[in-house]
Amino acid sequence: MEACLAANAAIPSGAIHGRITRARICHIERRNRRTAVYVGHGTEFPELVGFSVRVHLQIALRRKSEFARTVFCRAPFINVTVGREAESGTRFPFLSNAGRKVMTNVSAIVENELCPLLQDTKTPDDVRYFKSEDGNAEGSTVIRAGKDSFQAEHELVKLIAWTVVTEEVTLVECLKLCSLLAERWDVSCGVLQIDFVLESWLHAKLPSGTLDIATIVVMLGPETDSPHFLFEFIQSGPSLVVVLDHVPRKDLVLDTDYQQRFYEAPGLDEIRKLFEEAPNSKPYISPTLFVRSIVSPTAVLYKLNAGTQVDGGGLEEQIETVVYSGSQKMTEAWIESFLTRGSSGCNLEDTLKRDNKIKTFGFEVDLSANLPRLFGKNIADRVVEAFRTGGRIKV
Amino acid sequence: MEAILTASAVIPSAVHDRTTISCRIQRWNRGVCVSRGTECLEVVGFREKVCLPSRISVRRCGLARAVVHRAGIVNLTVGRVAEEGTPFPFLSNAGRKVMTNVSTILEKELSPLLQHSKIPDDVRHFKSEDGTAEGSVVIRAGKDSSQIDFVLESWLHATLPFGTLDIATFAVMLGPETDSPHFLFEFIQSGPSLVVVLDHLPRKDLVLDTDYRQRFYEAPGLDEIRKRFEEAPNSKPYISSVLFIRSVVSPTAVLYKLNAGTQVDGGGLEEQIETVVYPGSQKMIEAWIESFLTRGSSVSNVEDTLRRDKKIKTFAIEVDLAANLPRLFGQSIADRIVEAFRTEGRIKV
């Protein structure tokens, strides 16, 4: 015999929209007796009511239907153990609300501005989502390569052809249109060339607690000397490490104009100061010397702690106020640098060499630092391979 | 009528040997102010026997004797007078020990490679017109066959509205014959806080040349030295307000600000200087000497290295020296010092 129960349950903080994979209803008050009912999987949150959720369950009951109806009315105590299952396509599914807002905000800004310049992702499905064998760790890496001028030209040709066919233009008009379009494409595609945009997240349950790493990286090609963009959000337990930077393409000691152009004029140090002056924040000194040498002088490298408040509530607040606005400002400043302050690289070879170093010793090492021990060698190799081949410029 | 008074007084910490003392001696029930240039004759632990040689006029003889017995409370206002030739004369004992230790090590290892200093006397020691600031800059150029450009040793002392400022600096810059890093040590004390800058300045872009980083920063284990400062009590990272400084230093640079902590009398800071800064600076200079003598190799691109070194020197002149010296010492002294800096090294700027 089956009965449908609906009850309100309080969502533990930090839970997400999605599925309850395991809901255990612990005592349901029934007349005067309590029964523990264990319920299986795949139950959905149909609606979120404030901080409660209405749970619809199908449970097997031994007794008679009338009893079921009683149960239905009197199911006030529900302990909902929320398992977190990443849904394909849910972005940053394991972060808290505040953390996810931060990451999706930055992701949206980057997406908005750069979408026309990016190809569709060719990342294989088993890199777009992967899970360790023991189920303790999950992750996702999505890489979108920038369009190259060949593709841009290809699209330009398609656009012209379509215009000619549909608009029935004369030859003269067609030529004029061609040159206009070519000019526009040249401006938007010839100079502003992206290598790739990477978005990834990792979630792992470790003996010491949970670890969440969310990353957004934009690397540019040698056609422009604008800095790369790096954003890492690393939360483990009650502390959060934020890495936010415009990664320089040149030796700043040798090229003081570069420093002036991309770091002093845009006032990036003000953004760093926001983090410096936040309560419970202290500078984060990376254990890897290479990471210390690639970041810029105005890099945000800070560790925020929950402070003395219970529940990590203090940290959520920090994320909403400091990290959200700081990351937004930094991303917007980066977009502006990318669109308006870059100039054509004069030394393509050197720039390529340097970028390769950053890719291999910086980002690749960063990615593969955690992957093998959390996911095993197979998955780690797959992800690193996707990283190596996913950009416009191969390593 | 005259009387000789002696009394013991507790010395405030951070006083060094030669001081002028003005004392106020409590007598019976009334206070008598005695201001004098009296010397500390002997330091007895943390107490000092102060002899005020005569010249107090006292009204009654008997009272003078009573004063001798009852000269218990002495407020010492310590003035500091620099003696000609004393190295780092305005630093506290602990600070001076640190700086002279580094100086001695440098002297021992590099002396055969250096020419005599040709610094004019008025740069070797200078004083501002109003007397509130004093300083010294000594530069020794490297011999032609050495790989050294110059060794600089300097100190500044200024009495400012908010307190005193002491800056002591060591810098060794190398020529393009070797790719070994430069050496920089700055000891900046103002009031109860001390900023320490200790580094092997890289000659190359560390992103492009990962072998350089391995050779000069990872293999010698320089990060261990930095960690001691990081883990010291009351220390926090020092983030320079000048972006260039942030980019010129290495990834293992010691850039820390130490504070006196909650102890009165700045006693805590003196202890930090002795236990953290002294060994840390010694390790750093010894590691630098070793890198210089054993790990350098010839430079592949001399022009680039020269250009880079020139940038560092120009920056030091234009931003560091030229910004601070004129307001402390006036334009003419500042110009003299900048000129010395430009011309006294083996490689002219």
Residue A13 sits at the chain B interface (C-beta within 8 Å): no
Nearest by CB to B312, from A253, A269, A293: name it: A253
Distance from CA of A274 to the nearest CA of B (A): 14
Chain B residues whose CB is inside 8 A of the A292 CB are 251-252
Nearest to A286, CA basis, from A250, A316, A256, A245: A245
Interface of B with A (CB under 8 A): 204-208, 210, 213, 217-218, 223, 230, 236-237, 239, 243-244, 246-248, 250-252, 304, 307-308, 311-312, 315
- Antiparallel, parallel or unpaired: β B47-52 and B77-80: unpaired
- Asked if residue B199 has pLDDT above 90, the reply is yes
Contact list in A for residue B312 (CB cut-off 8 A) is 253
DSSP code of residue B15: -
**Residue A76: pLDDT band by 50, 70, 90 thresholds?**
very low
Among the partner residues B208, B210, B247, nearest to A253 by beta-carbon distance: B247
Note whether B146 and B172 are within 8 A (CB).
no
Q: Which residue of B has its CA nearest to A268?
A: B243
Contacts of B244 in chain A (CB under 8 A): 252-253, 256, 259, 297
Task: Give ipTM to 2 decimals.
Answer: 0.71
CB contact under 8 A, A290 and B217: no
Q: Minimum mean pLDDT among A54-68, B93-107, B122-136: which range?
A: A54-68
How high is the mean pLDDT of chain B? 78
Q: For A264, which of B210, B243, B252 is closest by C-beta distance? A: B243
Query: Which among A189, A178, A221, A187 is positioned nearest to A116, based on CA atoms?
Result: A189
Q: Which of B243, B251, B307 sits opposite A289 (nearest CB)?
A: B251
Domain B7-11+82-343 maps to which CATH number in 3.30.450.20, 3.40.30.10, 3.40.1500.20, 1.10.3720.10? 3.40.1500.20
Greatest alpha-carbon span in chain A: 89
Closest chain A residue to B308, measured at CA: A254
Q: Which residue has the tokens 């002591």?
A: B168
Across the interface, whether the CB atoms of A285 and B311 are under 8 A apart is answered no
More confident residue, A31 or A121: A121
Considering chain A, tell me which residue range(s) the CATH 3.40.1500.20 domain(s) occupy. 97-147+193-391
Mean pLDDT across B195-207: 95
Q: Is the pLDDT of residue A46 over 80?
A: no
The share of chain A scoring above pLDDT 90, in percent, equals 35
* Residue of chain B nearest A299, judged by CA positions: B246
How do the domains of chain B map onto residue ranges? 7-11+82-343, 20-70
A263 at B interface, C-beta within 8 A: yes
The verdict on a CB contact (< 8 Å) between A285 and B218 is no
pLDDT of A17 reads 37
pLDDT of residue B30: 44
pLDDT, one tens digit per residue, over B12-32 is 444 444 344 444 444 433 444
Instruction: Give A201-214 pLDDT, tens digit per residue.
Output: 999 998 888 899 99
Residues of chain B contacting residue A256, judged by C-beta atoms under 8 Å apart: 244, 311, 315
Contact between B308 and A254 using a beta-carbon 8 Å cutoff: yes
Q: Report the pLDDT value the prediction gives residue A322, as an integer from 0 to 100.
A: 93
> Could you tell me the pLDDT band of residue B318, with boundaries at 50, 70 and 90?
confident
Q: Does A377 touch chain B (CB under 8 A)?
A: no
Q: What is the pLDDT of residues B165-179, one digit of tens each?
A: 999 999 999 999 999
Question: Would you give the DSSP letter of residue B216?
Answer: I
Residues near B233 by Cβ (< 8 Å), separated by ≥ 6? B261, B272
One DSSP character per residue, B38-89 reads: E-EEEEETTEEEEEE-S----S-HHHHHHHHHT---B--EEEE-PPTT-SST
Question: Cα–Cα distances in Å, from B282 out to B101, B110, B277?
Answer: 7, 15, 8
CB B268 within 8 A of CB B260: yes
| Stretch among A89-93, A195-199, A350-354, B68-72 having the lowest mean pLDDT | B68-72
What is the per-residue pLDDT across A172-206, written as a single tens digit (0 to 9) for each?
777 776 676 666 555 444 445 799 999 999 999 98
Helix (H) or strand (E) holding A157: helix A149-167
Q: For B166, how many CA atoms within 13 A lie in the half-sphere containing its CB?
A: 19
Contacts of A263 (CB under 8 A, 6+ apart): A246, A248, A252, A269, A296, A297, A298, B243
Q: Report the mean per-residue pLDDT for chain A.
A: 74
Q: Does A32 have pLDDT greater than 50?
A: no
Q: Which residues pair with B138 in a beta bridge?
A: B153
End-to-end CA distance of chain A: 62
Confidence band, pLDDT 50/70/90 cuts, at residue A9: very low
- Model confidence pLDDT, tens digit, residues A122-150: 899 899 999 998 888 999 999 999 887 66
Residues 333-372 in A contacting B (C-alpha not used; CB under 8 Å): 350, 353-354, 357-358, 361
Beta-carbon separation of A293 and B218 below 8 A: no
What is the DSSP code (8-state) at residue A207? T
Residue B266: C-alpha distances to residues A228, B14, B237, B321 (Å): 45, 8, 20, 29
Residues B199, B284: Cα–Cα separation, whole Å: 8
Q: Mutate which of A264, A293, A351, A352 to test chain B, going by most B C-beta atoms within 10 A?
A: A293
Query: Which pLDDT tens digit goes with each residue over A254-287?
Result: 998 999 999 999 999 999 999 999 988 999 999 8
* Span A106-127, pLDDT tens digits: 999 998 888 778 888 889 989 9
DSSP A381-392: HHHHHHHHHHSS
> B203 versus A62: which is more confidently predicted?
B203
Q: Which of B336, B201, B335 is nearest to A293 (CA)?
A: B201
CA atoms within 13 A on the CB side of A67: 14
| A–B interface: beta-carbon pairs under 8 A | 72
Output the six-digit token pair for A164.
Answer: 């000619």
In sequence order, the 6+-apart residues with CB closer than 8 A to the CB of B308 are A251, A253, A254, B203, B204
Q: Name the most confidently modeled range: A42-56, A154-168, B40-54, B186-200.
A: B186-200
Q: Assess A276–B contact: CB distance below 8 Å, yes or no.
A: yes
Q: Nearest CB to B210: which of A254, A297, A361?
A: A361
Looking at the domain A97-147+193-391, which fold is it?
Answer: oxygen-dependent coproporphyrinogen oxidase (3.40.1500)
| Host H or E run for residue B259 | strand B254-259
Identify the closest residue of chain B to A248 by CA–CA distance. Answer: B207
